[in-house]
Structure 1
Amino acid sequence: MSLIQMSISAAVMIFVITAIRAISINRLPKKTFLALWGLVLARLLVPFTWPSPFSVYSLAKYSGAEQISGVPIANVLPVIPVTTAPAAVQNTAAVVGVTPKGWIWGVGLALCTLYFAIAYIRCRFEFMTSQPVENEFTVRWLAEHKCRRSVVIRQTSGITAPLTYGIFRPVILMPSETDWTDSKKLQYVLAHEYVHIRRFDGATKLLLTAALCIHWFNPLVWIMYTLANRDLELSCDERVVRMFGETMKSAYALTLIDMEEKKSGLTPLCNHFSKNAIEERIEAIMKIKKTTVCSMVIACAVVAGVGSTLATSAAAAGIPDDFIYIKEDIAVKFVPDPSIYAKYSSFGVTISNDGTSLLYKGQKIRLFNDAYSDETFYYDKNGTVNLLAVRSSAGEITGISAISEKEAQKYYDAFYADETNYSNPEPLENGKKYNMYYGAYGITFRADENALYYNGQKARLFVDETDGWYPAFWVDETGTADLTVVRDSTGQITGIKSISKEEAQNYLKNSEVDEQDIERRAEKRAQETAARYRKK
């Protein structure tokens, strides 16, 4: 999945979870919302997804299943234009591939990361001035609350409310004004921070911050960051109440109010016992009730429902067996067009009576390709023979040749590969091929000069363009002639012609098209072809 796809998918989840949270924040266990935010984090940080028949994207994509099975889609996959220009031209295109949007995102990522990093480093420097607390109460408390990681209690004048920081060496940091004789209040405060430590909430905050920096452009991710931090506190509050009993809810709420920070400040990656939505926390504490089987079942159902419908992608289930998958969740079926395959009929290639299959001497064709025609590519996984059209050096069809499964796989991979000429997996790359394909029309490759000549004139630019893709593209700044291949309406070569300097310059500019533009052009062509078939 692309970054934008991940962000949009997560935005839908955040919107739904925010609505669920508003309705049921005091009705479901608080861990429910932590699990839901965990699903969102996975969608924001993991660049792949899991297919599910219950996914809303399955419903959205295949709600019109009759359209997929009823509309023949033949040869609608994009044909990406490529060049075989010298390395200098290709390197220029690679540089152009860095889009303005990519730069903007990178700058935003750097600034957001820098902001959080500076804030955290400043806090850590301040925390380093703190002093360890070793009194009778803290010694006893640490002895009673064992943890596999070494927990330390320290205090500093730089804060006014308790907090926890550190993942592998957690520290509970207390204000220097803490009354160490008020053991009851301290039990509540330290229990809250201890729950943060046991749950690795510091690591959770780190992941939330990473997701925010990566998807800084998505306002819903900022909402998630705020609400998820609140829910970490609410879940810890709920756990503390469970530990001490519901009868102490009022005392715990009063402690929360008493320990509220008098001033606010950003201390990222730290867990606060502070005024993080203080009113919401107090209300939630007072409404905590005993967890029932019913509430647990509902909580599990909510998490499972959101996970299976929103955190997954469209599933393959329900697609007819004769459809094949290409990229991610796109399925197509090749239906042979009589106008395209009629020229091969004299060589034994025909279309079945029902018009859905391509045959060769009565056998079902698995793969058929013609390197000279970008419209001629057919694939049926239920077929048995793999074939290639054979042409003469003049480009005329001379026969049909059977190819091995290994060779067929190369053509199949080339057809679906990114930034590859789909119809011809071996575009012209050396002089011999230029002589073979264009020699009859006056083109000569001289190996000793590594140059192309046309009727004795050295070529500066030589282009063979057919319907948006380039079987040949040659650039030599030492040349003088700018040339293109002339083809008729059937795609057959009829000659070579000279072009103006302006036309040549346009070709050079087009050779430096970036990847996103290539994808846009390919998608447009795919849509136009699909529309043409729908009209039939």
Structure 2
Amino acid sequence: MSSFFLKIVNMSIAASWLILAVVLLRVVLKKAPKWINVLLWGIVAFRLICPFSFESALSLIPSAETISPEIMMDWTPEISTGVSSIDKVVNPIITDTFAPEPIASANPLQLLIPVLAIVWAIGIIAMLVYAAVSYFRLQKKVGASISVRDNIWICDDIQTPFILGFFKPSIYIPSGTDEAQLPYIIAHENAHLKRCDHRWKPLGYLVLAIHWFNPLVWIAYILLCRDIELACDEKVIRGLNQNESISYSEALLSCSVNRRTVMVCPLAFGEVGVKERVKNVLNYKKPAFWIVAIAVVSSIVLGVCFLTNPSSFPVKLDSVQISKASTMDFRTNIGPTTFQLSAAEIDELSSRIKNLKIGHKDQSLQGHTPFYSLHVDTKENDRITFSGFDSNGNQAAILYENVYYRITDSDFISYLQRICAGETRTESINETNVDTAIHNAIMEHNSDRYYKGVFACESHTVLATEAGGAANSEENETLTVYVLTLYEEYNLSEEGIESVGGGCGPVALTFNVTENGYELSEYWEPGDGSQYSDDIRKKFPEDILDEVWNPQDYVDAMTAENEQKALEFSAQK
């Protein structure tokens, strides 16, 4: 039941975007025929009740699945509305509130969502009971009505004319109604019958009952009832002259009632928005053809853009042919580790991705550094990257052509976490730790600088890393590391250690990642003088520039680290 409830919630959220669009379009098309508005609400109803939809690049729905069913199992529960500004505000609150404690036996959402599902079901029952009671009370009230002709009845106990009945509708008119107004009242109610409004309104209420928790659906239902009456008024007054339109308006006013509750039935002549309806009747002008055409085209465009879901992952993973694959794991204490997948591991990966469950786009992940990644190069020269964004392996996504798509398959996420950690490896590969590679590169680079020191050492601080490489099997995977370095040489004496020279600054080291480890391909340093700042801005990621410009805390720590290394070396002499 919880999964079904979340499905309804996601359908309701997706339809909310359509409701907002319809509300806006009603304002823009206020001179269009009112039946267009009713048609638009029909599109909304279809979106609210249809569990399936086609995908389209034209879709304006940000996310077809805002709340993943996996949220009940996530250690860091999050939603994905498709609007990054909303996600950035809402997700920290959700995570702080509902993230499970390490010792907890159950995720809080595993307990909360089933309770909410029960509350939702109770709400539906309450709405339907209210509708049934209202209907039978009306049936009882009109039980003593007198038949005038065909399906028209006169009743003493009602205040306004209305239609009652789904399959065999009847028109009920209050006794004492001015006979001069009867033709207009009957014409109005017959227009309702021809338009089948006595069926559409209860069906609209049924949709409201299912989505009772969404305030936008309540607004949509209220506006639907108003637009049904306006459309019916227009159908009647198209055949009236000016004097008859005035008489029709007087009939509306005399039959108006003050009702504040939402009704499932009946279709009352003077119940909804009488002031607006009178104004519309008195000012009615037949819409020009071009207005009708624009309204129809706008409705079609709205349907295409909001009845379809955003395009999912554009690559058919069941037909992908992998040429090579490699992992990158930043969860280790000693720095990133990497290895190339063997042929057997590639075969297993191919079988796993064939039925992989992929969710919607999630550009909120842009700019975040993953904890671990699996880079796949295909024989079609495409690159697909599978990345995990938390150390527990609960949030993962696919990066393709600079667009992230959420992975909703918990089994694959678990596999991804394990293979990147090397737990599934089928053969031994000689790995070189990246921290060691950085150390060797810095020491080698400074080896030709002679400061007459007895002992040389370096310390470095990694500010950011960036994996790269073309989707071409002939080219190597690369790793660029942006670091602050401090190289120093020391003289040793009985009095202690003495620094005799060195260098400090930002560097960018690019390594080719091979089966044998990290091979340095570029040691980049900024130019001197006026080129220094510009070079750094062009080379370094923008989000770490503040640390480059203000490195003193790092320098102090690296200086202390170098001094400790020199003291330890001195103690061995």
**Cα distance, 1:369–1:225 mapped onto 2, change above 3 Å:** closer
* Contact 1:164/1:173 (<8 A) preserved: yes
* Contact 1:167/1:200 (<8 A) preserved: no
Aligned to 2:36: 32
> Could you tell me the percent identity over the aligned residues?
24
Aligned to 1:367: 350
User: 1:8 pairs with 4, 13, 17, which one?
Assistant: 13
CA distance in 2, matches of 1:122, 1:2: 30
User: 2:326 pairs with 318, 328, 337, which one?
Assistant: 337
Return the offset for 1:223: 0.9
- For 1:476-487, list aligned pairs within 5 A: none
User: 1:236 pairs with 223, 232, 256, which one?
Assistant: 232
Aligned to 2:316: 324
CA distance in 2, matches of 1:165, 1:121: 14
1:323-362 alpha-carbon deviations (Å, 9 max, x no partner): 2369xxxx999972166995665x698xxxxxxxx7x9xx
Return the offset for 1:205: 1.6
**Cα distance, 1:381–1:304 mapped onto 2, change above 3 Å:** farther
Aligned to 2:152: 153
CA distance in 1, matches of 2:38, 2:324: 49
* Contact 1:154/1:174 (<8 A) preserved: yes
> Larger RCO: Structure 1 or Structure 2 (Cα < 8 Å, ≥ 6 residues apart)?
1
* Contact 2:208/2:217 (<8 A) preserved: yes
Aligned to 2:123: 111
1:417-450 alpha-carbon deviations (Å, 9 max, x no partner): 95656788xxxxxxxxxxxxxxxxxxxxxxxxxx
- Work out the number of aligned pairs and report it: 338
1:362-386 alpha-carbon deviations (Å, 9 max, x no partner): xxx993569xxx9989796979xxx
* Contact 1:367/1:377 (<8 A) preserved: no
**Cα distance, 1:379–1:116 mapped onto 2, change above 3 Å:** farther
Equivalent position SS for 2:181: helix
Aligned to 2:423: 491
**Cα distance, 1:9–1:422 mapped onto 2, change above 3 Å:** closer
* TM-score, normalization by structure 1: 0.53
User: 2:202 pairs with 200, 203, 206, which one?
Assistant: 206
- For 1:172-211, list aligned pairs within 5 A: 172-179=171-178, 182=179, 184-211=180-207
Q: Which 5+ residue runs of structure 1 have no aligned equivalent? A: 62-76, 82-92, 143-151, 350-357, 384-415, 425-465, 470-487, 494-530
* Contact 2:327/2:374 (<8 A) preserved: no
Which 10-residue stretch deviates more, 45-54 or 113-122? 113-122
Counterpart of 1:22, as a letter, is V
* Contact 1:132/1:153 (<8 A) preserved: no
CA distance in 2, matches of 1:250, 1:308: 40
- For 1:208-223, list aligned pairs within 5 A: 208-223=204-219
Task: Confirm or deny that 1:308 pairs with 2:321.
Answer: no
Counterpart of 2:25, as a letter, is I
1:284-342 alpha-carbon deviations (Å, 9 max, x no partner): 112221232112111112201211222221246xx76xx2369xxxx999972166995
CA distance in 2, matches of 1:417, 1:310: 23
CA distance in 2, matches of 1:204, 1:380: 53
- For 1:65-464, list aligned pairs within 5 A: 99-130=111-142, 131-135=144-148, 139=149, 142=150, 152-179=151-178, 182=179, 184-245=180-241, 248-261=244-257, 267-315=263-311, 323-324=315-316, 336-337=325-326, 345=342, 367=350, 420=411
**Cα distance, 1:164–1:423 mapped onto 2, change above 3 Å:** same
Equivalent position SS for 1:191: helix
Equivalent position SS for 2:32: coil
Task: Confirm or deny that 1:44 pairs with 2:48.
Answer: yes
CA distance in 1, matches of 2:409, 2:243: 64
Counterpart of 1:42, as a letter, is F
CA distance in 1, matches of 2:208, 2:40: 16
* Contact 2:55/2:310 (<8 A) preserved: yes
Counterpart of 2:49, as a letter, is L
* Contact 2:164/2:267 (<8 A) preserved: yes
**Cα distance, 1:100–1:237 mapped onto 2, change above 3 Å:** same
Equivalent position SS for 1:243: coil
**Cα distance, 1:178–1:533 mapped onto 2, change above 3 Å:** farther
Equivalent position SS for 2:154: strand
User: 1:55 pairs with 59, 62, 65, which one?
Assistant: 59
Aligned to 2:561: none
**Cα distance, 1:116–1:279 mapped onto 2, change above 3 Å:** farther
**Cα distance, 1:272–1:489 mapped onto 2, change above 3 Å:** closer
What is the root-mean-square deviation in Å for CA atoms of aligned residues?
4.6
Return the offset for 1:247: 5.2
Q: Which 5+ residue runs of structure 2 have no aligned equivalent? A: 1-5, 65-69, 75-104, 329-336, 354-371, 382-406, 426-464, 469-478, 481-573
1:233-272 alpha-carbon deviations (Å, 9 max, x no partner): 1010010112335552211111101111266665423111
CA distance in 2, matches of 1:337, 1:33: 55
